[in-house]
Structure 1
Amino acid sequence: MLSIVTAALIGTLLELFLFGVYAVLFTAVIYLFRSRHGSLPTNKPALWVLLGLVTQFLTITAHCIVTIYKLFLGAAAAEFYLDLSTPSSVTSIALLVLSSLVTDTLVIYRLYVIGSHRRKLIIFPLAFLVGQAVSAGGVIHRFVEMRPGDHSSSDGWVATNLALSIVISVYSTAMISWKIWRISTVVNKLSEHIDGGMRNTSILAILIESAALQTSAAIGTLVTFQLGFVGQAVWAGIMPVIFGLATVLIHSRIGLGWSHESDRQIASNPTRIHFVENDGLQVEHELEDRHRK
């Protein structure tokens, strides 16, 4: 079995590596936002997404800094890593639950936008998000109240927080996938591509892959925390950056698809999709013949 020091070192190395990948993808997403919307988006959906991505990045960066600080402060002392009452440990867990909250908020907002701004679609996940925020406060309080020498991090608040995050991710992704599938059945009868060049099936695959990554991280952390295994030092360390990767993978891959197709300037057989409030889709299909004089 791994020692707590070895697990902490492995977790630190993995987090630093994954953070490097995440930082590159985040930079690409910001560049795509600037190229499509300017330095500051004027439409609210893009602006809220950008603010969410920046908040998530700052939270994950802070968590990574705390991890490096703990590495140099703890050196090879197992007692340091086992003592969960230290300020660095409390700060680390606070940033972890905050990154989870920001990620799930972005997922719900994505559902809200794709769901034609219909509030009833997000009532269920919002209720769970409120519960997650309450449990996040409970998790932080649990760690603040720990006494030196208390090695146990398994707690009902931790399990509740992670379980709620899993439910939000699965529900929102399922609803988004259903919405895109509905669009596909209509659009495929009219045109091979949606406006912007991304295939519906490609978007669906991206969403499912990213959701699976996020959900797997939450499940892995939940299991290790409940088992009290030293592997939680690895999972808890890399969980925030995995949340970040799951988010930026969606925006970078879809955004790169938009950029690629816009450079090609596809003008033939464009299809425009409009989400409307009255439970349906308004699809405009315009056929253009370039050879018509």
Structure 2
Amino acid sequence: MVIVACGVGITYQFTQYFPGENVFVSAAGRWITSDCVFTLCTNVYSTVMIAYRVWKANKAIRRFGGSSLMEVLAIFVESAALYTSWTIFFFASYQSQSNLQFTAVDCWPAMSGIAFMLINVRVGLGWAQRAQDPSTVHSGIGPRTGGGGHGEHSYSMRPLAVNITRVVDQEDDFSPHQKKMGPGVSGEADSV
């Protein structure tokens, strides 16, 4: 909520901005600094809390023989670190009153999009789930017994096939007893 207030404050202050005014010492500068600090706090807090929940779930899953979520956690933390490092880069360039901050702020939406899409791309490519060790692969429906330390409550995934059939019914404009006589004229078929 505070980030929204800072965004509104920045927007309002830029409506009061005059050409030639220094963006680093204007009233908007205080709003920009506040917004950046709260963005950093939100990033770090959210990343730590989500990472803790994934780690806690991983710990619970491993007790029952499920696969590890540590690679998923690493992917999430790497993407969050990319976005947070860009925020720190902007904040440092702004506080040093460098014009590089204009490039940093203009590229910020692209960097957030890249950071968030990296999660989707890596999961889509299967980097979040490595292939199982052949010694732990189990064929069948029942629970696994022994082997691989996966516990006896794990079930293997079986291939799934989907067959799609498409039926197309086509209706003609003419019944079998009608014959087209000419443009716009139709009548009964003549029998000889």
Give a deviation string over 1:155-181, Cα, whole Å, max 9, x none: 110011111111111111111111111
The alpha-carbon deviation at position 286 of structure 1 amounts to 4.1
- TM-score of the pair, normalised by structure 1: 0.42
Given the superposition, is the C-alpha separation of residues 181 and 222 from structure 1 closer, same or farther in structure 2, using an over 3 Å criterion? same
The alpha-carbon deviation at position 191 of structure 1 amounts to 2.5
SS of residue in 2 equivalent to 1:225: helix
Q: Which residue of 2 aligns with 1:205?
A: 74
Q: Distance in 1 between matches of 2:140 and 2:46?
A: 32
Mapped contact 2:6–2:35 kept (Cα < 8 A): yes
What are the ranges of 5 or more consecutive residues in structure 2 without an aligned counterpart? 131-136, 142-152, 159-192
Rg (Cα) greater in structure: 2
Q: Runs in 1 of length 4+ with deviation above 6 angstroms?
A: 258-261
CA RMSD of aligned residues (A): 3.0
Q: Does 1:255 align with 2:124?
A: yes
| Partner AA of 2:22 in structure 1 | H
Mapped contact 2:75–2:128 kept (Cα < 8 A): no
The alpha-carbon deviation at position 259 of structure 1 amounts to 10
Tell me which of 140, 163, 171 is aligned to 2:37.
163
The number of residues matched between the two structures is: 139
The alpha-carbon deviation at position 143 of structure 1 amounts to 1.5
- TM-score of the pair, normalised by structure 2: 0.63
| Partner AA of 1:150 in structure 2 | E
Q: Distance in 1 between matches of 2:93 and 2:2?
A: 22
Mapped contact 1:269–1:286 kept (Cα < 8 A): no
Higher helix share: 1
Q: Which residue of 1 aligns with 2:3?
A: 132
What are the ranges of 5 or more consecutive residues in structure 1 without an aligned counterpart? 1-129, 194-198, 271-284
The alpha-carbon deviation at position 138 of structure 1 amounts to 0.8
Mapped contact 2:51–2:73 kept (Cα < 8 A): yes
Q: Which residue of 2 aligns with 1:239?
A: 108
Q: Percent identity?
A: 28
Q: Which residue of 1 aligns with 2:86?
A: 217
| Partner AA of 2:74 in structure 1 | A
| Partner AA of 2:91 in structure 1 | L
The alpha-carbon deviation at position 267 of structure 1 amounts to 7.4
| Partner AA of 1:201 in structure 2 | M
Given the superposition, is the C-alpha separation of residues 260 and 216 from structure 1 closer, same or farther in structure 2, using an over 3 Å criterion? closer
Q: Distance in 1 between matches of 2:63 and 2:24?
A: 54
Q: Does 1:143 align with 2:14?
A: yes
